[in-house]
């Protein structure tokens, strides 16, 4: 049988060298978003470090995911957070203003993945209190000291959650290989506190599928860092999992450059 010729041998080895090797691809048993068994292998995505990340797809909720990529190292993102502070302050003010137009925020805001506390600083400027959680301790220490915010350098979960009047989780879930447990906690805590939950991720819906066949290492590509963004939610997928855990409705809400859903109960 004629071999397929591709330029990069490291990429071609597993898929094309023999019919045997193709069967060695490890398949996830379930979709990491909706838990469906209808999952399919999509393709190998190269990284800039010459590694390979396997991309899978859920036929049920239309999310994409790479659960077998290596865990991301916990590293300080302090300089990044500082560089986008002004932008995030503007977006956060827009977000909080829009939420306040729908409901009063009665109680502290919990911000998951708070970084240096940009969102909570924006909240403070309009008279709202909050507490932030982030595993990036450097950023938490910087934000706590410089802006006198309550930022905790640890994982947030249901068991260590204070009472709240709003939960925000922005640009976090796409980094998590198995996000269902965190989503379950987010939904449950928001439900217990009878408050809104705002979730924003870079959604991957059908109109972005065209990027599956272009060079993923090009600048700004949705799969430019396939080992960093490991779960690519479709809007349908996020809706499915939130409703499974008790959410009643999800309303789309754009604030600055963030697009997400305001989850209610």
* Binding footprint of Zn ion on the chain (CB under 5 A): 31, 33-34, 36, 58, 60-61
Q: Could you tell me the smallest distance in angstroms from the CB atom of residue 44 to Zn ion? A: 21
DSSP assignment of 193-215 equals: TT-EEEEE-----GGGGGGGGS-
Between 81 and 236, whose beta carbon lies closer to Zn ion?
236
Q: Could you tell me the smallest distance in angstroms from the CB atom of residue 131 to Zn ion? A: 32
Q: Could you tell me the smallest distance in angstroms from the CB atom of residue 228 to Zn ion? A: 21
Query: What separation, in Å, do the N-terminal and C-terminal C-alpha atoms of the chain show?
Result: 58
SS3 80: helix
Between 134 and 174, whose beta carbon lies closer to Zn ion?
174
Between 16 and 245, whose beta carbon lies closer to Zn ion?
245
Between 31 and 183, whose beta carbon lies closer to Zn ion?
31
d(CA 9, CA 31): 30
Residue 169 phi/psi, 5-degree rounding, is: -140, 95
55: β partners: 43
Pairing state between β 258-264 and 196-200: antiparallel
Distance of CA 27 to the CA centre of its chain: 22
Q: Could you tell me the smallest distance in angstroms from the CB atom of residue 203 to Zn ion? A: 14
Q: In the sheet that 231-232 helps form, which strands lie side by side, from edge to edge?
A: 39-46, 52-58, 64-65, 231-232
Q: Could you tell me the smallest distance in angstroms from the CB atom of residue 240 to Zn ion? A: 7
Between 33 and 169, whose beta carbon lies closer to Zn ion?
33
């Amino acid at each position: 049988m004629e071999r397929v010729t591709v330029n990069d041998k490291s990429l071609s080895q597993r898929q094309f060298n023999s019919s045997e090797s193709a069967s060695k691809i490890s398949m996830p048993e379930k979709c990491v978003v909706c838990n469906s068994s209808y999952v399919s292998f999509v393709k190998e995505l190269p990284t800039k470090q010459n590694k390979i990340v396997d991309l899978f797809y859920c036929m049920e909720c239309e999310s994409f995911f790479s659960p077998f990529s290596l865990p991301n190292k916990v590293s300080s993102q302090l300089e990044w957070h500082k560089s986008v502070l002004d932008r995030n302050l503007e977006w956060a003010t827009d977000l909080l203003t829009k939420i306040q137009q729908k409901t009063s925020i009665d109680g502290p805001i919990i911000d998951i993945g708070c970084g240096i506390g940009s969102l909570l600083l924006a909240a403070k400027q309009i008279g709202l209190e909050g507490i932030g959680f982030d595993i990036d301790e450097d950023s938490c220490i910087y934000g706590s000291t410089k802006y006198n915010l309550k930022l905790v350098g640890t994982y947030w979960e249901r068991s260590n959650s204070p009472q709240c009047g709003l939960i925000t989780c922005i640009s976090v879930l796409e980094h998590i290989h198995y996000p269902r447990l965190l989503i379950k906690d987010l939904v449950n805590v928001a439900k217990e506190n009878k408050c809104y939950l705002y979730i924003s991720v870079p959604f991957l819906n059908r109109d972005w599928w065209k990027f599956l066949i272009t060079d993923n290492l090009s600048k700004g590509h949705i799969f430019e860092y396939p080992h960093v963004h490991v779960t690519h939610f479709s809007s349908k997928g996020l809706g499915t999992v939130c409703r499974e855990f008790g959410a009643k409705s999800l309303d789309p809400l754009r604030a600055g450059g963030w697009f997400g859903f305001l989850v209610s109960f």
